[in-house]
Amino acid sequence: MPEELYDVEANIPANPIEDLLRMDRIPHIWCPGCGIGTTVNCFARALQTSGLDLDKVSVVSGIGCTGRVAGYMRLDSFHTTHGRAIPFATGLKLANPELKVVVYSGDGDLTAIGGNHFIHAARRNMDITVILINNMIYGMTGGQVAPTTPVGATASTTPHGNFEETFNLPFLAESCGAVYVARWTAHHVRHLTKSIKEALAKKGFSFVEILAPCPTLFSRRNKLGDGLDQMEFYRDHSEIKNGADTKTVALDFQSKIIVGKFVDKERPTYIDAMNAHYKAKFGDRYVPSDEIRKLSHA
């Protein structure tokens, strides 16, 4: 018989997001049951239907499991230092406002070591999209407690249970000035894809928190089963409440998860405010940065 009939691989359809992945870097490092890959799939599909020029999209990550996302996306991608993806993204965006800059990182990276940058980028309404994967733990370093670890959960550095108050991230983002705030779980792939697409289209600081299972270091230590069990938990315990007051969406240990789009409002971005201010103040004497950029590369 002809050999082709036995070529199983030839009959597997191409992964529809392959053009957005660095396939020469696959397989990835994430554990079986980890939710990060699912979110990357949603992100890629959102990009594919976003209408954005993908050559003008940059992904910036910090350090940690989610920090590896930048390395797998076939986009301009920057894997920076721990906690500092947002200030790197700030420089990138200000220096070339034509870029769509997406920060993709974890809960510990963005809200513990990088918390200061998170609140100030939101305050300035820096025109970037921040996608935060919340697995409630520091995964890559072995399951230490994070600002997002629920009270009562166990981590390697809270072996007797966590008693620290937990961040309510949508409330934090909104109170600092984010113009788009949403939360989903890795189970809500359709809602999440749509939400990321909206966040990408939003001018200003847009923020999407995604709960994702860490079966190896969070679920196992807390006796919550594997990745599938955690996804079932998301399915059974999530409630969609679009427009919910972010004060009311705090997370507890294995309690109800409020998901949805909480904030979608307008506010001048940093760059718009800067240009408007200097134009009003100096008129034609003001030379916007992007004009120089175009001139110098004409």
Interface residues toward another protein, by CB under 8 A: 22, 24-25, 55-56, 58, 60, 70-71, 74-81, 84, 86-96, 98-99, 116-117, 120, 274, 278, 282, 285-289, 291-293, 295-297
Length of the chain: 298
d(CA 57, CA 77): 9
Residue 36 neighbours by CB under 8 Å, 6+ apart: 30, 65, 66, 68, 69, 133, 135, 212
| Closer of 264 and 272 to another protein (Cβ) | 272
| Closer of 229 and 290 to another protein (Cβ) | 290
Token pair, residue 208, equals 């999407």
Provide the minimum distance between the beta carbon of 5 and another protein in the complex, in angstroms, as a whole number. 33
Provide the minimum distance between the beta carbon of 254 and another protein in the complex, in angstroms, as a whole number. 35
Provide the minimum distance between the beta carbon of 154 and another protein in the complex, in angstroms, as a whole number. 30
Provide the minimum distance between the beta carbon of 266 and another protein in the complex, in angstroms, as a whole number. 22
d(CA 143, CA 28): 19
Please say whether the beta carbons of 138 and 110 come within 8 A: no
| Closer of 53 and 236 to another protein (Cβ) | 53
Provide the minimum distance between the beta carbon of 166 and another protein in the complex, in angstroms, as a whole number. 23
| Closer of 265 and 277 to another protein (Cβ) | 277
Identify the bridge partners of residue 147 per DSSP, sorted by sequence position. Answer: none
Residue 15 neighbours by CB under 8 Å, 6+ apart: 21
Question: Can you say how many angstroms the Cα of residue 259 is from the centroid of all Cα atoms in its chain?
Answer: 15
DSSP state, 132? Answer: E
| Closer of 16 and 91 to another protein (Cβ) | 91
Provide the minimum distance between the beta carbon of 259 and another protein in the complex, in angstroms, as a whole number. 30
Per 3-state DSSP, what percentage of the chain is helix, strand, and coil (rounded to 5)? 45, 15, 40
| Closer of 96 and 157 to another protein (Cβ) | 96
